[in-house]
A = this chain, B = another copy of it.
Amino acid sequence: MDLKKYIRDVPDFPKKGIIFKDITPLLQDSGAFQYSLQAMTSPWKGIKIDSVLAIESRGFIFGGAMAAQNDWKFIPLRKEGKLPYHKLSESYSLEYGTNTVEIHKDALQKGENVLIVDDLLATGGTIKAGINLVEKLEANVAGIVALIELTFLEGKKQFQGYEFCSILKY
């Protein structure tokens, strides 16, 4: 299945000069959504995964579905101020300013094998922050998967040495 047919380019969103990759046409085609989930899951067959760390908020759509389909635990990586309980924070630089993501301190057991899931890899800052938080909790990043990779941004340089897979490359 040619999944790229279901990704819509929206020019000048969220700001002028950026071409946004809109995944909503893919999500609203149940066959394309299923195919995407399968493609994002199959690289990890034979690897022990205990939990999905899904990145807010589009990562929740894929992560929730993959957790349900594979009987994995679901752990949210959330934007600052959203998680209610004891948590760890990690900040990373953006073009202007910084961004912060958070995880509950009791989200992962020591040694647990975690698959990090997001819809899109751009500069990789959020995923790298997720890796740092998983490792601060002494769990293990078994892999990282994104539906879309903007290869020209070279985000995966941020996590060399980790197993990473993307399905659609631009």
Chain A residues within CB distance 8 Å of chain B: 8, 10, 13-14, 20, 22, 24, 27-30, 33-34, 37, 51, 54, 56-58, 60-65, 67-69, 71-76, 81, 83-85, 104, 107
Contacts and interface: CB of A to CB of B under 8 A. Distances in A.
Contact of A67 (B10, B30, B54, B58): B30
B60 A64 contact: yes
Contact of A33 (B37, B57, B74, B107): B74
Number of copies: 2
A85 B30 contact: no
A106 B133 CA distance: 38
Residue of A27, A28, A58, A104 with most chain B CB atoms under a 10 A cut-off = A28
